[in-house]
Amino acid sequence: MEWHEAYTRPGSGLAERLAEVRTAINHYLDMSGTGFARVISMCSGDGRDLLGALAVRDDASRVEGLLVEYDPGLAERARKAIEGSPAHLTVRCADAADSSVYAEAAPAELVLMCGVFGNISDQDVHGTIAALPQLCGAGAHVIWTRHREGPDLTPLIREWFRTTGFEEVSFVAPDNASWSVGSHRFTGTPQPLDVGAHWFNFVR
Ligand SMILES: C[S@@+](CC[C@H](N)C(=O)[O-])C[C@H]1O[C@@H](n2cnc3c(N)ncnc32)[C@H](O)[C@@H]1O
């Protein structure tokens, strides 16, 4: 659970990044009407981005979905957090790279990939973006993060989203920080889930 302790470390930038992710989640929910919104959070940690965004909304009960986290302690913390939420969320302690985990949850209207792209190989980043049409319904938003330490992969990531059928909604990358938060809308055709795939391995 050590990684999450950095959220409270001054100067880590993670608190600012978290605020930006919550803003992007709220932006999606604000413009997505009043019906059910299905969410998938890959490598969700303790779910503080989604749960924090929902905590200040009076329409949280229209959100349903799946959080997938490998670390049992963090998954348990996420479960505790959703107990107090009116949203209809499930936490699975599982490998988020295994496509079969999403069999009941896809397609989603909102996919969170926060804290993932900085921990997997460039090739896996590309492959995972290429697989997102299997998780996204028409018009779905994907919110993602990536540090911009050299070599900065974010120009390629944004290009990979474009060539996979996504249009950019926002890309926030402050000059005085190394983090970035992107939001992309899926304009392509949803694809059936290939339940036998393994999309990435954490290398950090
Ligand atoms: C950098 S943290 C990001 C957590 C959260 N998304 C956030 O932004 O606060 C990466 C998370 O991925 C989890 N993780 C690593 N490999 C995973 C895997 N194969 N499947 C699911 N979760 C994984 C780690 O336990 C950790 O909680």
Query: Looking at the predicted structure, is the pLDDT value of residue 204 above 90?
Result: no
Please determine, for residue 3, whether its predicted confidence score (pLDDT) is greater than 70.
no
Task: Using alpha carbons, list the distances in angstroms from residue 59 to 26, 42, 75, 94.
Answer: 11, 23, 24, 28
Contact 84, 14 (CB under 8 A): no
6 CA → ligand 1 middle, Å: 13
The CATH architecture that domain 20-186 belongs to is 3-Layer(aba) Sandwich (3.40)
User: In this structure, which residue's CA is closest to atom 26 in ligand 1?
Assistant: 45
pLDDT digits (tens, 9 = 90+) for 100-124: 999 999 999 999 999 999 999 999 9
Site to substitute for ligand 1 among 9, 17, 21, 43, most atoms within 8 A of C-beta:
43
Q: What is the pLDDT of residues 135-150, one digit of tens each?
A: 999 999 999 999 999 9
Q: How far is the CA of 144 from the centre of ligand 1 (A)?
A: 13
d(CA 91, CA 57): 21
Report how far ligand 1's centroid is from the alpha carbon of 184 (Å).
20
156 pLDDT higher than 80? yes
pLDDT for 4 beyond 90: no
Cβ atoms of 128 and 119 closer than 8 Å: no
Mean pLDDT, to the nearest integer, of 27-39? Answer: 96
CA max distance for the chain: 43
Is pLDDT at 1 greater than 60 in this prediction?
no
**pLDDT of 185 higher than 70:** yes
